[in-house]
Amino acid sequence: MGYDYALVHVKYTIPLAGLLTFISYPLFTRLDVVRTLFIVTIAFTATIPWDSYLIRTGIWTYPPNAVLGPTLYDIPIEELFFFVIQTYITAQLYIILNKPVLHAQYLNSPATLPQWIKTAKPLGQLALFSSVVLGAWLIAKEGEGTYLGLILVWACSFALLTWTITAQFLLALPLACTALPILLPTIYLWVVDEMALGRGTWAIESGTKLELKLFGSLEIEEATFFLVTNMLIVFGVAAFDKAVAVCDAFPDKFDKPADALSMSLLRARVFPSSQYDMERILGIRQAVTRLARKSRSFHLASSVFPGRLRIDLTLLYSYCRLADDLVDDAETPDEAASWISKLDRHLSLLYKDPDATSAPLAAKYAAENFPESALSALDLLPSSLIPREPLAELLKGFEMDLSFSKDTFPITDPEDLELYAARVASTVGQACLELVFRHCQHNLPDYMQAYLRNTARQMGLALQFVNIARDIAVDAKIGRVYLPTSWLKEEGLTPKDVLANPNSEGAGRVRRRILAKAFDHYGEARDSMKWIPSEARGPMVVAVESYMEIGRVLMRNDGAAADGSGRATVPKSRRIWVAWSTLMAA
């Protein structure tokens, strides 16, 4: 009896697993629990027969003074724990690195699959099949290649299966989502294994190994083992995630979302890619790109929403941003007014009837009156889940923007400021909450839902005031001043003075007044967010806090962060910290 192997876990694997658990804890969902249990169970049951064979045939040995003693099928309890802890570590790292990624956008049908993926998949199959054949030859040959052969036959057979069913999805994902969760744990375990082999905690029988070292005491077989097993873990979790992505991307095909853990998830696993609605997938891609480009704070916050709600919120943002861009990018006021009229007509057609018959009418109108780049945002607006009123009110906010001219500034007093913010931001907050009500399980009575709608509208005011305070210089470049004229007058300024010098001390004092109002609204609404359905509560708070952090930075720096770029006033590391700490406290 000894403690050497147990101490390897105490010193190296358990602390790392604990750190990853601490990091992922506020992000962890019920679906993540199932992901982890799924891959740990498969890894544990698949490894036991193989490892037991290695020990019974004397290829792999453990000195009696290095292990505690209890075994299962001759496998020491420490080794059994290693199956679990390695899988857990790699799975947690995969989950953490994949949180920012909306997997649905990486689905492809055979017709849309990039050529390089079409080429890489069979090459990968060939490489894995060849590895199995090589392993079988080494086993049959016996001698020094036996252990490596057993690794290749066992691991590459499973890898070939998962690669065959998941390669198109795996290859489409960013490398940070797949390569890093393979390589980082592998390198870490190489170092741990090198130290353990050097101390004699476990050993490979001479005559069954190639006697090649990757570095130090690390046998090439052990290095290969950790690499291929971490590949298996990532391949397995990715196979699970592909089913999740399919289930969440196509609500018309699967009645329940992936996180309901219903038969829909199993059906999604075998749903043929030839039946994917690629117009929807391409629209989701465009929406994600638009969100990432236009709002880093909300893009980060979107990472922690559950699947279908995340998709619909992204599509809602894409619609609102598209509408805003059509109006802002118009070359003349008449063109901008025309876009508002067309958007209003599109909404009228979309909400004409309570059933789906109105959607084709709206799609036909959009195709005839909007640029092709706008069609996906218009067609994929989740209108069946959102009432028309907040979207129609949003267009009225755009009409207020048209009131700006060389000599006209419509924000004359604080009441105008409140009205404008209510139209362009409170409306979006309410629309987001409507999606939460439709996607999340709750038993909120009607009066409580109405109360939360008012809360969402008030929080929308807070966020828009922060936006206005941040973008004074940016707005001045396009001839707009959202600072109330009456407040400017108190500072001895006019809107034209702000256009000429948006960073003046007087404008800075008005900025601080707007930020003060923002935090007043925030303070009144923040506590009420505790009544939001639990699945969306944390993510909604993250969205709010990520944006309000911009206001805090502006308050601390007296507006210095609003240097004209109008963006990135909060470093990415700070935004991540705010999101994580907010979820931890939620």
Q: What percent of the chain has pLDDT over 90?
A: 77
- Report long-range pairs for 551-558 (Cβ below 8 Å, ≥24 apart): 551/465, 551/466, 551/469, 551/470, 551/515, 551/518, 551/519, 554/466, 554/469, 554/470, 554/511, 554/515, 555/512, 555/515, 558/508, 558/512
CB distance 305 to 101 below 8 Å: no
Q: Decide if pLDDT at 353 tops 70.
A: no
pLDDT for residue 569: 63
Do strands 60-61 and 203-204 pair parallel, antiparallel, or not at all (unpaired)?
A: antiparallel
Q: Where does the pLDDT of residue 354 fall: very low under 50, low under 70, confident under 90, or very high at 90 and above?
A: low
Average pLDDT over residues 441-461: 96
Token pair of 464, please?
Answer: 């828009």
Question: Per mean pLDDT, which range of 176-190, 192-206, 501-515 is the poorest?
Answer: 192-206
Q: How far apart are CA 401 and CA 404, in angstroms?
A: 6
Q: Which long-range contacts (CB under 8 A, 24 or more apart) does 492-501 make?
A: 495/409, 498/472
From the list 41, 17, 85, the residue with the least C-alpha distance to 240 is 41
DSSP-derived 3-state class of residue 109: coil
The DSSP secondary-structure symbol of 563 reads S
Cα Rg of the chain (Å, integer): 29
pLDDT of the residue at 455: 97
Selected residue with higher pLDDT from 568 and 184: 184
Contacts of 48 (CB under 8 A, 6+ apart): 72, 73, 75, 80, 83
Q: Confirm if 177 and 94 have CB atoms less than 8 A apart.
A: yes
The pLDDT tens digits of the residues spanning 48-100 come to 999 999 999 988 888 787 788 898 999 999 999 999 999 999 999 999 999 99
What is the spatial distance between Cα 89 and Cα 16, in angstroms, rounded to a whole number? 7
CB hemisphere CA count around 497 (13 angstroms): 16
Task: Report helix, strand or coil for 251.
Answer: coil
The reported pLDDT for the residue numbered 566 is: 46
Burial of 230 from C-beta contacts in 10 A (0-12 / 13-18 / 19+): buried
User: Looking at the predicted structure, is the pLDDT value of residue 297 above 90?
Assistant: no
* Cβ within 8 Å of residue 428, ≥6 positions away: 316, 317, 320, 390, 394, 460
HEC assignment per residue over 380-445 = CCCHHHCCHHHHHHHHHHHHHHHCCCCCCCCCCCHHHHHHHHHHHHHHHHHHHHHHHHHHCCCCCC
Binned at pLDDT 50, 70 and 90, residue 355 comes out as low
Distances (CA, A) of 257 to 254, 277, 506: 7, 17, 52
Q: Which domains does the chain have, with CATH numbers?
A: 4-110+166-207+228-270 (no CATH), 281-585 (1.10.600.10)
Q: Count CB atoms within 10 A of the CB of residue 108.
A: 18
pLDDT exceeds 80 at position 517: yes
Distances (CA, A) of 440 to 102, 287, 303, 532: 19, 22, 17, 10
As a whole number of angstroms, the distance between CA 35 and CA 29 comes to: 10
Helix axes 534-557, 427-439, angle to 10 degrees: 150
Q: For all residues of the chain together, what is the average pLDDT?
A: 92
CA 105, CA 245: separation in Å to the nearest integer? 8
Segment among 48-52, 349-353, 422-426 with least mean pLDDT = 349-353
In the prediction, which pLDDT does 169 show? 98
For helices 278-294 and 307-328, give the axis angle rounded to 10 degrees.
70
Mean pLDDT lowest among 199-203, 214-218, 254-258, 434-438: 199-203
The pLDDT score that the predictor gives to residue 576 is 84
In 440-494, alpha helices (H): 446-470, 472-477, 485-490
pLDDT at 382 over 80: yes
328 close to 321: Cβ distance less than 8 angstroms: no
d(CA 81, CA 181): 20
What are residue 300's phi and psi, to 5 degrees? Answer: -65, -45
- Asked if the model's pLDDT at residue 4 lies above 90, the reply is no
What average pLDDT does this structure show over 414-419? Answer: 96
Question: Is 401 or 37 the better-scoring residue by pLDDT?
Answer: 37
pLDDT at 523 exceeding the cut of 90: yes
Tell me the one-letter amino acid at 493. L
pLDDT over 70 (residue 563) = no
- pLDDT confidence bin for 1, thresholds 50/70/90: low
- Is the model's pLDDT at 138 over the cut of 90? yes
Residue 438 — very low, low, confident or very high, per pLDDT cuts 50/70/90? very high
Q: How many angstroms separate the CA atoms of 480 and 477, rounded?
A: 7
Helix (H) or strand (E) holding 520: helix 505-526
Instruction: Report the pLDDT averaged over residues 28-33.
Output: 94
| Confidence at residue 559, expressed as pLDDT on a 0 to 100 scale | 58
Cα–Cα distance measured from residue 526 to residue 522, given in angstroms and rounded to the nearest whole number: 6
135, 136, 137, 139 alpha-carbon torsion, rounded to 10°: 90
